[in-house]
Amino acid sequence: MWNDMNRAGVTSISPQEAKERVDSGEWVLVDIREPELYEKAHPTGAVSVPLFVKMTMENVSGVGDILKGAMLLSNGVTPVKGNPTFLEDLKKVAEAKGVILYCEAGGTLKPTTNFPYGKQSRSLVGTSKALDVGIENVAHLDGGIYGWFNAELPMDGEYDASMVGRTPNAALAATYPTKDEPY
C-alpha cells in the first residue's frame, strides 16, 4: 500500500492546505469514519462516505463474519466490516473534484524508526482503495479530524478529542484509581 501511494504521488496535506483546497471549490473533504461520528462533529463542508459499517444480522455474510463479530464483541469493540458501497459512493463524490480523505487521527505516509512504511490508518486504506479504482485526485489529511480541530478550523458539531488513537468504537481505556481512591 505504502509503495503504491508513494509511486502515485499521494500526499498528506496539512489541515490549512486542505481548507484552502476545499475553499477553491475544486476539492471536497471526505469523512470515512462511522456515520455516528460524522453526525457528532465534522469539518464544515465535509461529506460522509464511511469506509466501514457496523455488523448487523442483516449484513453478516457467513461464519467468518460471525466469528469476527464474536471476537470483537468479547474485547469490547463494536464489530465492523467493509462498507460494500464505499468505492461507488466515493466515485460519485470525486466526479470533477479532488477528494481529501480523513479519519480520526490520520496515520502517516512518512517513514519513522518504528514505522518504516508510515503508520496505517483508515483514511490511508481508503486512499489506497481510491487509487485502485482510478480516482486520481486524492489526498490524505495529515492528522485527521484531530489535526483539523487542533488547527482551530471550522467545525460543525462538538468534537470529542478523547477518541483520538482508539480503534473504531473500542472499549474505554483502563483507568487506575489515585492513591486516595479505593480499588
50 domain residue, yes or no: yes
User: Is residue 170 a part of any domain in this protein?
Assistant: no
Among candidates 22, 26, 2, which has minimal Cα distance to 14?
22
Residue 18 lies in a domain: yes
Tell which residue, 146, 143, 167, 163, has the closest CA to residue 155. 146
- Say what the pLDDT of residue 101 is: 97
Does a structural domain hold residue 80? yes
Q: Which of 15-19, 157-161, 170-174 is the most confident on average?
A: 15-19
Would residue 87 count as lying in a domain?
yes
The average confidence (pLDDT) of the chain is 86
The domain that holds 49 is classified in CATH as 3.40.250.10
pLDDT of 149 above 90: yes
Mean pLDDT over 94-118 rounds to 88
Q: Is residue 178 part of a domain?
A: no
Q: Given its phi and psi angles, is residue 137 left (phi above 0), alpha (psi -120 to 50 degrees) or beta?
A: beta
- Give the pLDDT band of residue 108 (cuts 50, 70, 90): confident
Residue 183 lies in a domain: no
Structural domain boundaries enclosing 15:
2-163
DSSP state at residue 167? P
* Residue 177 is assigned to a structural domain of this protein: no
Per the structure, the count of domains in the chain is 1
* Cα(173)–Cα(31) distance, integer angstroms: 24
